[in-house]
Amino acid sequence: MVDTMALLHPFSRAARTPRAEPRLSPGFPADDEVLLDVPDDGLGAALVAAARGEHRPAADLLAATRRGADWEGRDRCVRRLAAFACSRAEWFEQWYAADPHDPDARVVAAQLAVDRAWPSPARAELLREVSALITAAARGDDRDPVPWRIALDHARGANAGHKYFEELWEAAVRRAPHHYGCHVAALNYLAAFWHGSHRECLDFADRAAQDAPEDSLVQGLPARAVLAYLTDDCGPEVPRHRLDAAADRAIALSARFPAARPWPAELRNKLMYVLVRLERWDDAYAQLRLIGPYATSFPWDRQSDDPLAQFLRTRDEICSAVLSSPPRHPRSERGGRARSGDH
Give the C-alpha separation, 89 to 50, whole Å: 9
Other beta carbons less than 10 A from residue 261's beta carbon: 15
The H or E element containing residue 35 is: strand 35-36
pLDDT in tens, 154-187: 999 999 999 999 999 999 999 999 999 999 999 9
Other beta carbons less than 10 A from residue 121's beta carbon: 7
Instruction: Give the Å distances, CA to CA, from 326 to 273, 314, 315, 322.
Output: 22, 20, 19, 8
* pLDDT (0 to 100) of residue 7: 28
* pLDDT (0 to 100) of residue 193: 86
DSSP helix/strand/coil, 89: coil
DSSP helix/strand/coil, 34: coil
Give the C-alpha separation, 285 to 323, whole Å: 10
pLDDT at 339 over 80: no
**Mean pLDDT over all residues of the chain?**
89
pTM score over 0.85? yes
CB neighbour list of residue 163: distance below 8 Å, 6 or more residues apart: none
Across the range 262-289, mean pLDDT stands at 97
pLDDT in tens, 50-77: 999 999 999 999 999 999 999 999 999 9
